Amino acid sequence: MALEEIKARISLLLEEMVNQPEDEHQVREQLREKFNELRALGMPLPADLVALEKQLDERFPESPESFE
């Protein structure tokens, strides 16, 4: 997926998180996937997205089952 497509998808996911807070956990997982795609392309995440990722990780800590 091209960088611009990933950025556009991240933007849509953030908007979805605001508009549909009941789906916040699912959106967070999708954001994590997009952040990892950027990293896989060798692209550094902007500081604001790194801060957002940290806030989301604190709000939705991973359960041990998710690593199995």
Per-residue pLDDT, 46 = 84
Q: For the segment 26-43, what is each residue's pLDDT rounded down to a tens digit?
A: 888 888 888 888 889 898
Reported confidence tier of residue 1, pLDDT bands at 50, 70, 90: low
Q: Which residues contact 60 (CB under 8 A, 6 or more apart)?
A: 24, 25, 28
- Reported pTM: 0.64
pLDDT above 90 covers a percentage of the chain that reads 3
pLDDT higher for 46 or 21?
Answer: 46
Neighbours of 31 (CB within 10 A): 20
53 φ/ψ angles, rounded to the nearest 5 degrees: -60, -40
